[in-house]
Amino acid sequence: MVDARKMTNDLMHIGVLLALLGVLLGLLTWTGVMQCNAIPGWCDVYWGILGKPSVLIVYGDSGLGNPVGACTDEGCSLQEMLANPKLLGVHAQTLHIDRVNSGNLTPYNLVIVERARKIPTKTLRAFIDYYNSGGRLIWTGDAGTELGESYVGGKLVKDEYLHAIDRTSSEVNKLLENTQGEDTVLDFNVPIGPWARKDGDLMISFDQLLSLNYAGNYCQFNTCFADKPIHVGNIEPEPSRDHPLIRGIAADLQLWVFKDQDFAVVQTIPGGITTEVLTLDMGSNLIVTNPKNNNKADYGKTNPMIVTSGVGGRVIYYSMPPELYANPRLDSFDKDLYYLPLENMYYGSLYG
């Protein structure tokens, strides 16, 4: 009798330990600290409990990307390519940027933002809240680089950029470092960048969430054509090539783009939890002259194409929307189409 009771107690203890271990693994996977494929069979258990991953595509009226709609001569949309049973067979829901709030993002395991250049500051706050609540966010191209507006007390209020003087002395120091040796009068009231916003007395540092600053789109700085692609360089995976977002991608793949189907020129912000997993080598430095004052800006010879940031890499930035890597228009010019960035986007962000 004693042995039976002892065995029962031992089994109960083992059951409690297994349950606690399951909860711990669930929390680690939910926060992105651990990818579910780190333990054989855990992905099936995790997503078996939560249900099949739900995906939301948030889109606007302008900007880079082809988020929704059927395939046309201009290319296939992200929604259509995700749903293609030969690729992923994933049926994503869609939502216009005007309807976004924290509540309607929460039900989704993965939120992708495309062709949404104009985003109000209050909506950027909703995306930050979504990330803080455990969501996985994929940001693309020039999304959120144009100010929006909102109604406060029945009045239309335009959004504001955050300026160097508003944040900390470190932003002022950066300006000083970048202008050393130049005969320049510094204006500390210049905007930090379009992803750094003010909301009343609050600082909305979406640039720090992405760990990036945006300069412009490539075809704003170079001559591009709508009817034929131009070669912009070669794409290089990070050295180990074992990151799930670039798994299987070869080195030195040529990248060709059309006008208005190109990519964002961005620079990483030091100090964040940032991994640059895919990079474009443009072959020479991208130097841009400001027509207002003839000052030159040197953006270097490389451009980040896929960057992860945040705890567990749950924020992923694509400077070129993933569906454009497999733009069917390229096939007409005998250029290679790359489907892996799209497939890896889904499996890499949700399964690892």
Measure Cα distances from 87 to 45, 80, 110, 112, 227 in Å: 23, 10, 18, 18, 27
Residue 227 has pLDDT above 80, yes or no: yes
For residues 62 and 148, is the Cβ–Cβ distance under 8 A? Answer: no
pLDDT on residue 120: 95
What distance in Å separates the CA atoms of residue 339 and residue 331, rounded to the nearest whole number? Answer: 13
Q: Ramachandran region of residue 170, left (φ > 0), alpha (ψ -120 to 50) or beta?
A: alpha
Residue 208 forms part of a structural domain: yes
Query: Could you tell me which residues come within 8 angstroms of residue 158 by beta carbon, excluding any fewer than 6 positions away?
Result: 147, 149
Report the SS3 class of residue 260.
coil
pLDDT on residue 28: 62
pLDDT on residue 183: 45
Query: Percent of the chain, pLDDT > 70?
Result: 80
Residue 152 has pLDDT above 90, yes or no: no
Specify which of 36-40, 139-143, 293-297 reaches the highest per-range mean pLDDT: 139-143
Q: What's the average model confidence in pLDDT over 168-188?
A: 51
Specify which of 210-214, 248-252, 284-288 reaches the highest per-range mean pLDDT: 210-214
Q: What's the average model confidence in pLDDT over 211-238?
A: 95
Residue (of 242, 213, 210, 197) closest to 315 by Cα position:
210
Q: What's the average model confidence in pLDDT over 288-301?
A: 79
pLDDT on residue 241: 85
Average pLDDT of the chain is: 85
Residue (of 170, 139, 177) closest to 59 by Cα position:
139
Helix pair 2-30, 42-50: axis angle to 10 deg: 80
Residue 111 forms part of a structural domain: yes
pLDDT on residue 84: 94
Query: Could you tell me which residues come within 8 angstroms of residue 168 by beta carbon, excluding any fewer than 6 positions away?
Result: none
Instruction: List the alpha helices (DSSP H) in the chain.
Output: 2-30, 42-50, 78-83, 102-105, 121-132, 164-167, 169-178, 206-210, 218-221, 340-350
Residue (of 187, 59, 132) closest to 314 by Cα position:
132
Better-predicted residue by pLDDT, 110 or 4: 110
Residue 194 forms part of a structural domain: yes
Residue 231 has pLDDT above 90, yes or no: yes
Residue 167 forms part of a structural domain: yes
| Lowest mean pLDDT across 22-26, 133-137, 163-167, 187-191 | 22-26
Residue 2 has pLDDT above 60, yes or no: no
Range of the domain at 269: 51-216+265-279+303-326+335-350
Residue 211 has pLDDT above 80, yes or no: yes
pLDDT on residue 166: 78
pLDDT band, residue 4 (cuts 50/70/90): low
pLDDT on residue 208: 93
Specify which of 2-11, 246-255, 270-279 reaches the highest per-range mean pLDDT: 246-255
pLDDT on residue 51: 66
For residues 288 and 295, is the Cβ–Cβ distance under 8 A? Answer: no
Query: Could you tell me which residues come within 8 angstroms of residue 341 by beta carbon, excluding any fewer than 6 positions away?
Result: 245, 246, 249, 278, 306, 318, 322, 325, 326
CATH number, domain containing residue 212:
3.40.50
Angle at 48 between CA 45 and CA 49, to 5 degrees: 90
Q: What's the average model confidence in pLDDT over 107-115?
A: 97
Specify which of 12-16, 172-176, 182-186, 191-195 reaches the highest per-range mean pLDDT: 191-195
User: Based on the structure, what is the number of domains in the chain?
Assistant: 1
Residue 132 forms part of a structural domain: yes
Residue 291 forms part of a structural domain: no
Site of tokens 């208005």: 260
For residues 297 and 288, is the Cβ–Cβ distance under 8 A? Answer: yes
Residue 241 forms part of a structural domain: no
Residue 204 forms part of a structural domain: yes
Q: What is the pLDDT of residues 16-59, one digit of tens each?
A: 666 666 566 656 666 666 677 667 767 777 676 766 899 999 99
Residue 295 has pLDDT above 70, yes or no: yes
Q: Which two tokens stand for residue 192?
A: 């930090």
pLDDT on residue 180: 45
pLDDT on residue 26: 55
Residue 170 has pLDDT above 80, yes or no: no
pLDDT on residue 139: 98
